[in-house]
Chain A
Amino acid sequence: MTATGGELDLRGALRAARIERAGGRAAWAYTVLVFVFLFLPIVIVVVYSFNAGRHVTDLKGFSTQWYAAAWSDPFLIKALRNSLTIAVFTAALATIMGTACALAMDRLRPRMRALVELLGYVAITVPGIVIGIASLIFLVTAFDWLDPWLVFVSGGTAPRLGLGAATIVAAHTLFTMAIVTVLVRTRMRGMDRSLVEASEDLFATPWRTFLQVTLPQLLPAIVSGALLAFTFSFDDFIIAFFTSGQDQTVPIYLFASIRRGVSPSVNAIATVLLVVTILTMALAGLVSRRGQRRRGAGEPGS
């Protein structure tokens, strides 16, 4: 790796070049150090997931026993299934409603738009713990009012409303939806309006224009919004902690087991999840790269 613009230094500023090269080397060394810092805990997790010893302090040799242990822990598997279900529903709801909201925003009256914008910012910035506590109090109060009515209307057959996976989805959808809206709107700002106008001039119905012109252009923002929503939901502890009722998610399970003393099977689960996410991301990267190349080849002169 040579220093930036090394050729230009031939003018005789040898000293400056030497300083810059030393600076560049220092910058590299520092960056490597920071990456080590970022990955140290992850390496530890992966290494200990294959450790034969019972305790994290003694490295004893290679073993896959913790993978088997994780697989046969019914609570962990139940929590994993809950987390995945919640994250999928959250991602779906947040993506659909967030995108719809973004599409509507530009056509709203200015005051209404400002209001929706403000609500989105509030949803993103209010800390999870406040959202969690406020939702808990509100939902419990609301359910206390609603339950007698439901019993009355249904003649006593309605199940009692309570906290659970559905309320977690509701709370997670709130702020992930706001994030999707921000992403899609940012993308819309960089979009070429003339294509939409051309489509309208060619008498395409609004629905057809949306499907064939707007949606393909927005797709990268929508997909990354969905991925973000899934990730946030899957990794959230604090909101789920307050709105979960009896249903456990993986972070709640982990928090409880950290307090009790963690079984190394937790490391095994984390490693599996890490590998799955990295593979998914790599695949997504490959697919989008290929798509770009194809599009690049399809457009002559660009």
Chain B
Amino acid sequence: MSIISRAATRSNGQRRSYAALLVVPAAAWYVGFLVAPLVVLAIMSVGERSPNGGYLPALTLAQYANLTTRITPLTNTLGLAALNTVICLLVAFPVAYTLALKVRGSWKLVLVALVIVPFWTSFLIRTYAWMTLLGANGVPRILGWIGFGEIQLLNTPFAVSLGIVYNYLPLMILPIYVSLERLDRSFLEASRDLGAGPITTLRQIVLPLAAPGILSGIVLVLIPVMGEYLIPVLLGGGKTYFLGNALADLFLQSRNWPFGAALATVFVAGMTVVVAGYLAISRRLVRIGRESSLL
């Protein structure tokens, strides 16, 4: 046992105790402002609504049994979130592909930076601009001049989809761009030289290599869209109803807190399933990638 190795062991032990101290503020924050509020929410979800709104302590699953009455926002959220994520992916992929593989030089950096710029203006202001654009004096008036008759765009499911795609597009473009950017161009040339058409090259080379980026794009878009509140309110006119809107309604208007808490608890559980699914799939992708690179 040399002095050096003993000193090394000691400094390792010391480092471990320093480390414990460094994690304390963050851990305390998680406990105080995440775990505690969610626990309070879960406790409230097994309670009862007091006659004048608010919460009465109880131990009942009645709120959960009642959830079927709110099946519309639930299915709306799942269906519309999935649909709009797919639209987002379809719109974003060609852009990411062009930026990564067709644009050269300093233009590329400028264009990628431009994709992020919309995030630097207030979300509410951009959505308000869409309200103006889609409102009676915006695009519908122009369509009217061309001779389309009266078309309502604002306060329709179309406006909600447009708002979602508009707002989340950069979050889909960027990860796909990053994964395509790493793609070795010689693969594309090899594929062409071997007589593969553009579709075959896309299917057999580009898409498999872009898969991790596509997956993170889907998660980055799907999860916040599921919790979306403002876009349905401002562009959907309250007609297209998401879970977030149902929650705000239950807590602020009808003041049925236990029922809202039950809905929120199920919501969080559902999100956890989605995230766990993502982690499982991405781990598998990493493994496949490692195995294929070994070949």
Contact = CB atoms under 8 A, between A and B. Distances in A.
B64 interface: no
Contacts, number: 233
Contact of B268 (A100, A126, A270): A126
A63 B37 CA distance: 49
Given A104-B22, A138-B36, A38 B115 contact: yes
Contacts of B227: 126-130
Contact of B120 (A1, A41, A128, A274): A274
Contacts of B198: 19-20, 23
A137 B33 CA distance: 11
A90 to B, nearest CB: 12
A131 B15 CA distance: 34
Contacts of B123: 235, 237, 251
A56 interface: yes
Interface stretch (B66-74, B125-133, B208-216, B284-292): B125-133
Interface residues of A, number: 86
A255 B231 CA distance: 12
A135 B16 contact: no
B124 A104 contact: no
B128 A250 contact: no
Nearest to B185: A4
Contact of B234 (A5, A96, A108, A258): A258
B121 A270 contact: yes
Given A38-B166, A127-B271, A238-B230, A231 B133 contact: no
Contacts of A262: 128
A45 interface: yes
B120 A231 contact: yes
B158 interface: no
Interface in B27-46: 27, 29-30, 32-38, 40-41, 44
A19 B192 CA distance: 12
Interface in B228-276: 229-230, 234, 244, 247-248, 251, 257, 260-261, 264, 267-268, 271-272, 274-275
B272 to A, nearest CB: 7
A235 B125 CA distance: 10
A134 B41 contact: yes
B189 interface: yes
A13 B189 CA distance: 12
Contacts of A139: 37
Interface in A110-166: 112, 116, 119-123, 125-131, 133-139, 141
Given A30-B98, A254-B122, A122 B229 contact: no
Nearest to B250: A133
Contacts of B272: 122, 125
Contacts of A98: 26
Contacts of B51: none
B34 A122 contact: yes
B188 interface: yes
A135 to B, nearest CB: 5
B280 interface: no
A177 interface: yes
B94 A30 contact: yes
Interface size class of B (residues with CB under 8 A): 35 or more
Contacts of B260: 133
Nearest to B35: A119
A137 B30 contact: no
Secondary structure of the B contact surface, majority rule: helix
B169 interface: yes
Max chain A CB contacts within 10 Å: which of B23, B169, B229?
Answer: B23
A45 B247 contact: no
Contact of A37 (B104, B119, B166, B264): B166
Nearest to A24: B102
B44 A137 contact: yes
A4 B267 CA distance: 47
A285 B109 CA distance: 11
Given A130-B227, A130-B264, A238-B230, A107 B16 contact: yes
B147 interface: no
Given A41-B133, A100-B25, A206-B15, A174 B94 contact: no
A57 interface: yes
A237 B104 contact: no
A251 B122 contact: yes
A34 B128 contact: no
A270 B125 contact: yes
Contacts of A108: 19-20, 23
Nearest to A112: B23
A57 B185 CA distance: 49
Contact of B275 (A20, A112, A121, A274): A121
Contact of A130 (B97, B117, B268): B268
B26 A31 contact: no
A27 B34 contact: no
B226 A135 contact: no
B33 A103 contact: no
Contacts of B126: 41-42, 45
A27 B120 contact: no
Given A104-B22, A231-B120, 10 more contacts: A97-B25, A100-B23, A101-B25, A107-B15, A133-B264, A138-B40, A170-B29, A170-B32, A174-B33, A237-B230
13 contacts: A5-B185, A19-B198, A31-B99, A108-B23, A123-B30, A128-B227, A129-B248, A130-B247, A133-B260, A136-B251, A137-B261, A174-B34, A277-B120
